[in-house]
Amino acid sequence: QSLLTQPPSASGTPGQRVTISCSGTSSNIGSNSVNWYQQLPGTAPKLLIYSDNQRPSGVPDRFSGSKSDTSASLAISGLQSEDEADYYCSSWADSLNGPIFGGGTKLTVL
């Protein structure tokens, strides 16, 4: 069961900007930072954004994150075909004493 809510799908054309939302509660996103993971088909997840809006080394600046209250967003600008993947938000859940994930958003590049 997913405690963070994401849209199941998103799409865009090459060069376009797309955003993926992630909604939580005061006991997860509202009081903890948000991380985003990218999972390319058939591969392991990869850390894309951490601490709401920080990019690990090697992640292009086309990817950006933001957070407000109990919601977060991932934005991808200059969409490329290789961005086609599943994207998961994650935050710490105080009630679980562990990390929780959103259900994932499948991004299609048309």
Partner 1 sequence: EVQLVQSGAEVKKPGESLRISCKGSGYTFTNYWINWVRQMPGKGLEWVGRIDPSDSYTNYNPAFHAHVSISTDKSINTAYLQWSSLTSSDTAIYYCSRVSVGYYGPQDYWGQGTPVTVSS
Could you say whether residue 5 binds partner 1 (CB under 8 A)?
no
Could you say whether residue 56 binds partner 1 (CB under 8 A)?
yes
Q: Kindly report the CA angle at 88 between 62 and 25, in degrees rounded to 5? A: 110
| Rounded Cα distance, 26 and 40, in Å | 30
- Binder to partner 1 among 10, 59, 70, 92 (CB under 8 A)? 92
Could you say whether residue 108 binds partner 1 (CB under 8 A)?
no
| Rounded Cα distance, 17 and 53, in Å | 17
Stretch that binds partner 1, among 22-30, 46-54, 66-74, 75-83 (CB under 8 A): 46-54
What is the 8-class DSSP label of residue 67?
E
Could you say whether residue 7 binds partner 1 (CB under 8 A)?
no
Residues in the chain, how many?
110
- Binder to partner 1 among 37, 65, 67, 73 (CB under 8 A)? 37
